Amino acid sequence: MENIVIQVKTKSDRKLIFDIANKMGFDSFVVTDFDKRMLSRKKLIQIASNISKIDLSEEEISKIVESVRSVRYSNEQDKNNN
């Protein structure tokens, strides 16, 4: 069995998708923010366990974190402007 994820903006859209899925005989469920965080943590642990030890300085880590934050902030600003 394969899974798909559909993100909706309104409760009425979510209800419509659930109704369609039920009529087609699919199983459906809501993935909460908590669920997404837990899945992300599990994936991060899996990835980290497969990578040999990487020696990064705190400065390098800070630069990476700042880069990710700036991209995320930029994306949020773009969404708000549209």
| Residue 42 placed within a domain | yes
Taking a C-beta distance cutoff of 8 angstroms, is the pair 31, 5 a contact? yes
For residue 23, pLDDT over 90 is answered with yes
Taking a C-beta distance cutoff of 8 angstroms, is the pair 46, 35 a contact? no
pLDDT tens string 34-78: 998 999 999 988 888 777 666 778 899 899 999 999 988 887 777
The helix/strand/coil state of 37 is helix
| Residue 71 placed within a domain | yes
Owning domain of residue 58: 11-81
Q: For position 79, what pLDDT does the model report?
A: 73
* 10, 21, 31 from 37: Cα distances, Å: 21, 25, 10
| Residue 23 placed within a domain | yes
Q: For position 53, what pLDDT does the model report?
A: 67
| Residue 5 placed within a domain | no
Q: For position 52, what pLDDT does the model report?
A: 65
Residues 62, 33: Cα–Cα separation, whole Å = 26
Total of domains in the chain = 1
Q: What is the pTM of this model?
A: 0.41
For residue 24, pLDDT over 90 is answered with yes
